Every structure is written in structure tokens, then in C-alpha cells.
Amino acid sequence: MAVEAFDVVDLIHTKRDHGALTAAQIDWLVDAYTRGYVADEQMAAMTMAIFLNGMERDEIRDLTLAMIASGETLSFDGLGKITTDKHSTGGVGDKITLPLAPLVASFGVAVPQLSGRGLGHTGGTLDKLESIPGWRAALSNDEFYAQLRSVGAVICAAGTGLAPADGKLYSLRDITGTVEAIPLIASSIMSKKIAEGTASLVLDVKFGSGAFMKDPARSRELAETMVRLGTDAGVKTVALLTNMNVPLGLTIGNANEVRESVEVLAGGGPADVVELTLALAREMLALAGQPDADVETALADGRAMDTWRSMISAQGGDPDAALPSPRESQPVLAERDGVLVAQEALPFGIAAWRLGAGRARKQDPVHHAAGIDLLAKPGDTVVKGQPLFIMHTDEPARFDRAIEALTGAYRIGAVGDPVENGGPLVAGRVG
């Protein structure tokens, strides 16, 4: 039996006592955990020590590199196109990837968007797209590269070969209360994105009620950490800090978010979804060498819609097919005249989850027709009896628990009362 280079208990003591791990220690730790030598309970102790005491910049870099080294990496050197990608830290009603990828690809760059599924109150891009009849998330490497060459945009599931250490570590963090640790979030996201091989990356780092990072200062710290990791690895990286105090757009769910995304691609859609789509597209195209790209025109003249239809068709989907409709719907009415002054993102995300739009465990099924359609946003004038939002589900027994989640989540005030929306949608830029 081979002698191990380090003793994991010694490394736990080092982090517990505010010390720093060397690159060799981190490399060994990640490898030993991936192959099962380090037990889950030992790595749980390590992640809690990191959560409580943090990591130095070199440690975060070395952790990221060790997770990349645990699996395969992709390369787009022979693609013949410049690559650029985007990652969002997740929120409520965040369907931006759907209109964004085809919009950016319509300018001749390649967008290799490896996406995930939702868990808890945050929706998953793959769950939304699977509302489209026939669409499939799993592509072979040959299909992946062929679609990038022909269409320019791919949104699909990441293979298990990319940063497998991160997949194992994320599952552990999810059940040990250490998801929010900035060193662990940053290394998790950036290990996969760097392994993916994109030349440039734009990060949408959210803060507020519906985000993992509630505090804007913590959101900025996370953004700065990830931008440094990307830059150090040779990936041109910038981040936008965006507001997730209020749900994004007018839909929360799966099929309804696809409908809203198509509206944006058709030149319409809610103003906030359009604003963030255009802001991220400008950043992605600037990093790809097109700082003067006219993204507004590409939405208006149908180029982005054409790319969307090609992207969906290439993955077996029918862009003209009817999307799932809910079996049951229930409106919630305004109890008085006035102005909608508050609409908190997190409770609406939880309510949509309870209606069946999300999952509590990775193996749970998603109800694609479930969700919430918002009929008013903060600042809108409303009258008594007017529907404020409509809940959708396939199982009417879910309505009561969804309503429970929304207690105090929205408020109607008098004309002139301050509106609680947390400020501008794009609150800052890093990089």
C-alpha cells in the first residue's frame, strides 16, 4: 500500500487554526478526496474550517487548479471562432442565458454554454429548455463541436469529466451548510469554466433577496475573487454586479420563462430582462473583439431569433411546438387600491419551487408547466381585485404551501410611498 504524502487531520488542524495550506497539500487533498482516501466527514470538517476562516489568494488559486487537474479540459483551438461564455450565480426568474447565447452567437463568435439544473429556489437553465418538446441537454463531444461551428451557440449539460472533484465537493457543501463560502464558490465556478476552455468569460454576480450572496459587499468580494482566478488562468474575465432583490422579468418557472425569452428574441419582453441581456452581450462581445457590436439591432432585425431556432433544432427541439400548459392556475388579487411597493425575490422563488417548478433533491422531477406569472412589478399602480400574479401547477394541493411562502413577500402602499427594489439592475462592474 502506497504511503500518503500528508495526513488529512494535520491539514484540518492547519485551517482550523487560521493557517495556510501549501500548493502541494491542496493538490494532495483534492486528489485524495476524489479517489476516496479522504472521507466525507473529514472533508466536511475542512470545508467548515474554510467557511469560518477563509483562504488566502494563493490557496484559492491552488484549490481551483487542483480541481481542474482532477479531470479533463476542453480546447477550442481548432474551432475557427473566438469563444466567449457567461456564468450567473443564480436567482429568481433568471432566464438570461436563453436569449443571450443566440444573441451573442449571431455576431459570429462561439458561445459554449455548459449549464446546470436548478436546486431549491434558483432555477436551472437545462430545466427550462427541457420544456421544449424533443430538446436534449446531453451532447457528445463531436455534436458539441459541430454545433459550435455551424450554429455558434450551444447550451448543454457539462460532462462528468470536467472538474469531477468539484462535483463531489459541491454535493458535500450542499448538505453541510458551507455553500456560501467565497473561496469554495469561486473555485467551484471557475474550475469548471477554466476547464471548459473558453477564451473569455463574463460573470453575472447577483446580490439581494433572491441571490446566494445577500450583501452587495460580499457579492463584490466574490466577483473580484473570480475575476482574479480567471485572469491568472489566462481567461479574459469581467463581472457585472446585478440586483436580485426583485424577481427578474415577469415569469418564474420553466416553460413560462422560455416563452418570455422568445418574446425578448422577438424584440419585446420585460424591460429588465432586455436590459440585462444587452448589458451582458456587450461585455461578452467586447471581450471577443467586437466592442462596437450593435446588439439592439440584432434583437430587432431577427438575427438572434434565427440563431435561437437553429440552436434549438440542432439539439432535437421543435422551436414551433406548443410548450407545456398547467392543469391548474390560481390568481392572487390586490386587496386594496394603491401602488405595489415591494416584491421580494426569495419568497417568490420558494413559492415557484413549492408549486413544482424546482427540486429539493437532485433526483426530483421538475414540473415544466409549474411556476408564477407576475402581472405587476414594484412601482405599478394597482386597483382592488386586480390579479397581482397567477400561480400555476399540475397538483392543486401545492397552492396552500406556495401561498404560505408569499406571506409578507409583497406589499401595496399609497401613491408616493417609497418603492423597495434595491436600486439599479446593474450596480457595478469588476475587471
Query: Is pLDDT above 90 for 312?
Result: yes
Positive/negative CA dihedral, 129, 190, 212, 250: negative
Query: Is pLDDT above 90 for 160?
Result: no
Query: Is pLDDT above 90 for 28?
Result: yes
Q: Which CATH superfamily is domain 328-413 in?
A: Pyrimidine nucleoside phosphorylase-like, C-terminal domain (3.90.1170.30)
**Any idea which of 2-11, 266-275, 367-376 has the lowest mean pLDDT?**
2-11
Known catalytic residues?
Answer: 87, 166, 173, 188, 192
Cross-strand pairs, 329: 392
- Tally of CB atoms within 10 A around 36: 9
Please report the pLDDT score of residue 407 as a whole number: 95
Burial class (CB in 10 A: 0-12, 13-18, 19+), 17: exposed
Q: Please count the helices (runs of H) and the strands (runs of E) in the chain.
A: 16, 13
Please report the pLDDT score of residue 351 as a whole number: 97
Nearest CA among 103, 100, 101 for reference residue 111: 101
Architecture per CATH, domain 8-54, reads as Up-down Bundle (1.20)
- Tally of CB atoms within 10 A around 334: 18
Q: What is the three-class DSSP state of 29?
A: helix
Amino acid at 43: M
Cα dihedral value 92, 98, 100, 106, nearest 10: 180
* DSSP H/E element including 115: strand 111-115
Cα dihedral value 200, 229, 27, 31, nearest 10: -50
- 271: Cα separation from own chain's centroid: 20
Please report the pLDDT score of residue 119 as a whole number: 65
Reported as a single tens digit per residue, the pLDDT across 240-290 is 999 999 999 999 999 999 999 999 999 999 999 999 999 999 999 999 999
Nearest CA among 298, 227, 299 for reference residue 269: 299
Q: How far apart are CA 260 and CA 374, in angstroms?
A: 12
Mean pLDDT of 16-45: 97
Cell of 132: 421544449
- Whole-prediction pTM: 0.94
Confidence of residue 84 (pLDDT cuts 50, 70, 90): very high
Mean pLDDT of 155-165: 87
Nearest CA among 78, 374, 113, 100 for reference residue 253: 374
Q: How far apart are CA 295 and CA 304, in angstroms?
A: 9
Counting residues of the chain whose pLDDT is more than 90, the rounded percentage is: 87
85-321 and 328-413 share one fold: no
In the CATH scheme, what is the code of domain 85-321?
Answer: 3.40.1030.10
* DSSP H/E element including 242: strand 236-243
User: Within 240-358, where are the H helices?
Assistant: 255-265, 271-287, 295-300, 303-314, 345-352
Reported as a single tens digit per residue, the pLDDT across 209-240 is 999 889 999 999 999 999 999 999 999 999 99
Query: What's the chain's average pLDDT?
Result: 94
Cell of 314: 440542432
**Any idea which of 107-111, 157-161, 214-218 has the lowest mean pLDDT?**
157-161
Residue with C-alpha cell 440552436?
311
Positive/negative CA dihedral, 336, 337, 338, 340: positive
The domain segmentation of the chain, as residue ranges, is 8-54, 85-321, 328-413
Cell of 174: 450542499
Please report the pLDDT score of residue 171 as a whole number: 81
